[in-house]
């Protein structure tokens, strides 16, 4: 298991279990704004959104840069967010957002663009995250812009799903969790409020949790844990159901 951080000088790697720094895996592509992981050809792949407009890819085990095919968001633009969206077929889609609010999609194997870039937001795209697959088999991802507006998208067609979801704050993190059989999208940001929506319907779900960052985990026994961090450095962990306890 590895821990990887995006920096102004590329990416840095650590052993996630021991904390040992792994300088042999470090890369120097320049500023990388965001990272995401996925599966490509049966193995893990690390994706990076580059300030120079490049969507970088590295082998998730060796750290080696994958040179071909090449992905990018166009000359003069910066890739600000990137995500890997699995498809029911076992394949996937690479999605990226740029500093003009556009969304881009590619076939991860061939590098073929999937349609034209979509004018998805009125400000920079800051986060892209794959969502749990719907019961209908559709694969979705969600994007968040600089104004804290979230939008769900169909990964295969690139069309918006439902209405935008407004938070009214700068969103720092997005997470997903299954709670009592319902998949939820969670958002936390500058106002320290954790918000939730039903992944399938987009309907808001009331939560009484606070934090600038949020993460969720469903344990093997079915219990759902929700962890938040506050602006004061506190880490709060909840065991929760559809009514947060």
Which candidate, 66, 73, 26, places its Cα nearest to that of 49?
73
pLDDT digits (tens, 9 = 90+) for 99-157: 999 999 999 999 999 999 999 999 999 999 999 988 888 999 999 999 999 999 999 99
Q: What is the DSSP letter of 72?
A: B
CA–CA separation, 21 and 3 (whole Å): 9
Whether the pLDDT of residue 244 is over 60: the answer is no
Asked if omega into 220 is within 30° of 0 (cis), the reply is no
More confident residue, 244 or 76: 76
What is the residue whose two structure tokens read 């052993």? 15
Distances from the Cα of 176 to the Cα of 76, 130, 202, 218, 227, angstroms: 33, 9, 13, 10, 12
Q: 149 near 129, Cβ under 8 Å?
A: no
pLDDT digits (tens, 9 = 90+) for 199-224: 999 999 988 789 999 998 887 777 88
User: What pLDDT was estimated at residue 241?
Assistant: 66
Mean pLDDT for the chain overall: 92
Record the pTM.
Answer: 0.91
- Can you say whether the dihedral through the CA atoms of 146, 149, 152, 156 is positive or negative? negative
User: What pLDDT was estimated at residue 245?
Assistant: 42
Average pLDDT over every residue of 81-104: 95
Number of alpha carbons in the 13 Å side-chain half-sphere of residue 39? 7
């Amino acid at each position: 298991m590895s821990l990887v951080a995006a920096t102004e000088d590329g990416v840095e790697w650590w052993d996630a279990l021991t904390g040992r720094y792994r300088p042999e895996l470090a890369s120097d592509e320049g500023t990388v704004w965001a990272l995401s992981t996925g599966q490509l050809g049966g193995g893990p792949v690390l994706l990076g959104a580059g300030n120079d407009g490049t969507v970088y890819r590295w082998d998730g085990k060796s750290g080696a840069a994958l040179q071909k095919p090449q992905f990018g968001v166009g000359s003069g633009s910066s890739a600000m967010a990137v995500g890997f969206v699995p498809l029911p077929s076992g394949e996937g889609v690479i999605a990226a957002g740029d500093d003009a609010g556009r969304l881009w999609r590619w076939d991860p194997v061939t590098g073929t663009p999937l349609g034209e870039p979509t004018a998805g937001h009125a400000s920079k795209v800051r986060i892209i995250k794959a969502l749990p697959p719907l019961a209908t088999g559709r694969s979705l991802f969600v994007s968040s812009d600089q104004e804290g507006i979230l939008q769900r998208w169909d990964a295969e067609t690139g069309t918006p799903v439902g209405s935008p979801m407004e938070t009214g704050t700068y969103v720092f993190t997005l997470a997903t969790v299954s709670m009592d059989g319902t998949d939820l999208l969670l958002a936390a940001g500058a106002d320290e409020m954790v918000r939730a929506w039903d992944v399938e319907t987009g309907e808001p779900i009331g939560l009484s949790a606070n934090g600038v960052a949020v993460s969720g985990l469903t344990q093997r026994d079915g219990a759902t844990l929700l962890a938040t961090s506050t602006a004061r450095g506190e880490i709060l962990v909840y065991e929760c159901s559809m009514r947060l306890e």
